Amino acid sequence: MKHEVKCVPLVSRRKIEVAVKRLADRLNRDYQGKHPLLIGVLKGSFVFMADLSRLLDFPVEIEFARLSSYGRGKETSGKVKVVQGLRTPVKGRDIIVIEDIIDSGLTAAHFMEYLKKRQPASLKLCALADKASRRRTEIAIDYLGFPVPDKFLVGYGLDWDEKFRNLPDICALEEDGR
């Protein structure tokens, strides 16, 4: 069966670049003299992490964590698991969690709780995009790139069925009928 998908540009690479620069400026102000640990949530954050981290002018360490994913679906299962934990100790560190997008908020909320238990010196959440209308739990985004509408998005790290992560712009994915 032929599978038709349509990608409609939503946030251009230029707009993403401006937002990432603005986030980096804020982090550069807030973390002067510190050496935080950036923890990217795989896989979606990899492009954002690469761009953001290169604009930071304080010493950083980079880690990644793998949480249970959506698989092929477009909705969260509501069950979140830390699949691949951290090799770098979190205790006493300044931690910045790097997320691609906050949707229901369940993934980030669960991960922030997981990290809080490990007693970091400070813990902040930095997300590129926020789909606030879909929230199912309360979650504070300390550093936000931009809000996005309730559409399924791909590109700049975001995937559908592991595809489209490499698109330089963020696009809304429209499947036949949706």
23 binds ligand IMP (CB under 6 A): no
Buried b (16+ CB within 10 A) or exposed e, 118-138: eebeebbbbbbbbbbeeeeee
Q: How far is CA 84 from CA 55, 81, 104, 152, 167, in A?
A: 27, 9, 21, 25, 26
Q: Which of 16, 49, 112, 158 binds ligand IMP (CB under 6 A)?
A: 158
Is 30 catalytic? The answer is: no
100 binds ligand IMP (CB under 6 A): yes
Q: Which of 51, 100, 130, 159 binds Mg ion (CB under 5 A)?
A: 100
- Phi-psi bin for 73: left (phi > 0), alpha (psi -120 to 50), beta? beta
- The partner residues of 98 in beta bridges, in order of sequence, read 40, 126
63 binds ligand IMP (CB under 6 A): no
157 binds Mg ion (CB under 5 A): no
Q: How many residues bind ligand IMP (CB under 6 A)?
A: 19
Q: Tell me which stretch binds Mg ion (CB under 5 A): 54-62, 97-105, 109-117, 146-154.
A: 97-105
Site map 43..72 versus Mg ion, x via CB under 5 A? -x----------------------------
Q: Which of 66, 76, 114, 146 binds ligand IMP (CB under 6 A)?
A: 76
* CA pair distance 144, 20, nearest whole angstrom: 9
Catalytic residue list = 103
